[in-house]
């Protein structure tokens, strides 16, 4: 269940049909979830509580049809691969993978294999895939690196539009958020004829700081039994069909950090908080083709900066709701070394947000 299923409405904006990043036309999401074993941690054997999520940015080939994109780091204790190219050229030229810290390499390599295999590059593929991570080592045998290339391909091939599975799924399987079970969450907003969608992998925050709709609920919730609770990390993917240039994508991505702040996140020293925004508003951008000369000039459509504020507000709200969705969708999980992380009770949260309760 999601926040709105419990009567929890975040902000005042209007969600899209599925209240998900997939409300942006062409955007698809796929998960592979890996859960096995119980008891003491044995590196290489388990218990396994992890997975991979793949965001496909449009209905064509992201490798051949790049999109304008931008990135913002709130705090840099984390990793998103392919950022030198993305930041310098302003282009997203691959699907986006989300996984645990120890599996970034295999997910990145698997996306290269997908490009080579599916597009028949004949030994001339060019790819710098984008893969983001958060650390799931409390519940998962992270050093065992259980995510394999086949799992990435499965998530890629399963990627679809429509409703998105949330909570302890895909890359969010073993994540912890504000002292409760966390994971994948998503939300969207319709604004001025455009759609803004956000998907987060939420593994951040402290219980006592958790805030929803401006109400600090964390300090009144049961005390976490987690050992050495730290701030953790969050990766946020923002998609929009508004026609934005790379510098505008970066500015929109930056506002996702305000949505995290509204839930009590602060980009603490130990946190890796990265936000990437891509725009599907221009699909005619030249690819980095090795065997064809790009056009000397080309035309794009651009939204004037003076009209960005509604997108900023939409990203802030959608990010806050995506985090709340990740929390209420994730059920209690017992993982490595019999550590149990409690899911946040959506009914209890709704009661705490109701005046007079």
CATH of the domain at 325: 3.60.70.12
Q: What is the pLDDT of residue 294?
A: 80
- The answer to whether residue 29 is domain-embedded is yes
- The answer to whether residue 357 is domain-embedded is no
How much is the mean pLDDT over the chain? 94
- The answer to whether residue 290 is domain-embedded is no
The total of structural domains in the chain comes to 1
Phi/psi at 257 (5° precision):
-60, -30
pLDDT at 196 over 60: yes
* DSSP assigned state of 292: S
Contacts of residue 57, Cβ cutoff 8 Å, sequence gap at least 6: 26, 27, 67, 92, 95, 96, 239, 278, 280
Residues in the chain: 357
pLDDT at 247 over 60: yes
* Terminal-to-terminal C-alpha distance of the chain: 22
- Quote the strand ranges of the chain, DSSP E: 28-36, 48-56, 67-76, 91-92, 96-100, 130-134, 176-177, 180-181, 183-191, 194-204, 211-212, 215-216, 232-240, 272-279, 333-334, 340-341
- The answer to whether residue 28 is domain-embedded is yes
Phi/psi at 180 (5° precision):
-120, 170
Burial (CB count within 10 angstroms: exposed 0-12, middle 13-18, buried 19+), residue 194 = buried
Query: Rounded mean pLDDT of 256-284?
Result: 95
pLDDT at 78 over 60: yes
**Cα separation of 116 and 51, whole Å?**
23
Query: Rounded mean pLDDT of 180-197?
Result: 97
pLDDT at 266 over 60: yes
Confidence tier at 227 by pLDDT (50, 70, 90): low
- The answer to whether residue 209 is domain-embedded is yes
**Cα separation of 169 and 135, whole Å?**
14
Of 120 and 264, more confident:
264
**Cα separation of 196 and 180, whole Å?**
27
- The answer to whether residue 293 is domain-embedded is no
Burial (CB count within 10 angstroms: exposed 0-12, middle 13-18, buried 19+), residue 43 = exposed
Do the beta carbons of residue 259 and residue 323 sit within 8 Å? yes
Token pair for 334: 């017992």
- The answer to whether residue 87 is domain-embedded is yes
Query: Rounded mean pLDDT of 280-303?
Result: 83
**Cα separation of 86 and 63, whole Å?**
13
How many distinct helices (H) and strands (E) make up the chain? 6, 16
Kindly list the distances between the CA atom of residue 292 and the CA atoms of 63, 263, 335, in Å, as whole numbers in the listed order: 15, 48, 51
Q: Give percent of the chain above pLDDT 70.
A: 94
pLDDT at 55 over 60: yes
Domain interval for residue 50:
3-285+300-350
CA angle, corner 350, sides to 185 and 235, nearest 5? 20
Do the beta carbons of residue 50 and residue 104 sit within 8 Å? no
Query: Rounded mean pLDDT of 69-93?
Result: 96
Do the beta carbons of residue 313 and residue 198 sit within 8 Å? no
- The answer to whether residue 295 is domain-embedded is no
Exposure b/e, 282-300, CB count within 10 A at least 16 = b: beebebeeeeeeeeeeeee
Q: List the catalytic residues.
A: 233, 271, 273
């Amino acid at each position: 269940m999601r926040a709105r299923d419990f009567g929890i409405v975040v902000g005042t904006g209007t969600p899209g049909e599925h209240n998900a990043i997939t409300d942006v036309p062409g955007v698809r999401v796929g998960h592979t979830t890996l859960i096995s074993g119980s008891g003491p941690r044995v590196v290489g054997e388990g218990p396994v509580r992890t997975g991979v999520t793949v965001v496909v940015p449009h209905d064509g080939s992201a490798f051949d049809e790049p999109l304008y994109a931008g990135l913002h780091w709130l705090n840099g204790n984390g990793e998103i691969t392919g950022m030198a190219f993305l930041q310098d050229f302003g282009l997203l030229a691959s699907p986006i993978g989300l996984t645990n810290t120890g599996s970034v390499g295999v997910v990145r390599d698997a996306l290269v294999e997908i490009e080579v295999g599916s597009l028949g590059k004949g030994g001339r593929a060019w790819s710098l895939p984008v893969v983001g991570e958060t650390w799931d080592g409390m519940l998962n045998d992270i050093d065992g690196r259980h995510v394999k290339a086949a799992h990435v391909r499965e998530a890629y091939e399963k990627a679809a539009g429509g409703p998105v599975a949330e909570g302890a799924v895909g890359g969010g399987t073993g994540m912890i958020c504000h002292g409760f079970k966390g994971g994948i969450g998503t939300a969207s907003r319709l604004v001025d004829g455009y759609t803004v969608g956000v998907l987060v992998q939420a593994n951040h925050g402290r219980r006592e700081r958790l805030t929803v709709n401006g109400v600090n609920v964390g300090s009144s919730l049961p005390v976490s039994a987690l050992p050495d609770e730290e701030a953790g990390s969050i990766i946020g993917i923002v998609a929009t069909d508004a026609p934005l240039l790379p510098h505008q994508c970066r500015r929109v991505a930056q506002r996702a950090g305000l949505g995290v702040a509204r839930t009590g996140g602060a980009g603490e020293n130990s946190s890796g908080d990265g936000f990437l925004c891509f725009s599907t508003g221009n699909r005619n951008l030249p690819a980095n083709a090795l065997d064809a000369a790009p056009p000397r000039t080309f035309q794009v459509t651009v939204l004037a900066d003076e009209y960005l504020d509604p997108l900023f507000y939409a990203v802030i709200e959608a990010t806050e709701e995506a985090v709340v969705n990740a929390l209420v969708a994730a059920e209690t999980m017992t993982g490595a070394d019999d550590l149990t992380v409690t899911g946040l009770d959506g009914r209890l949260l709704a009661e705490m947000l109701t005046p007079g309760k």
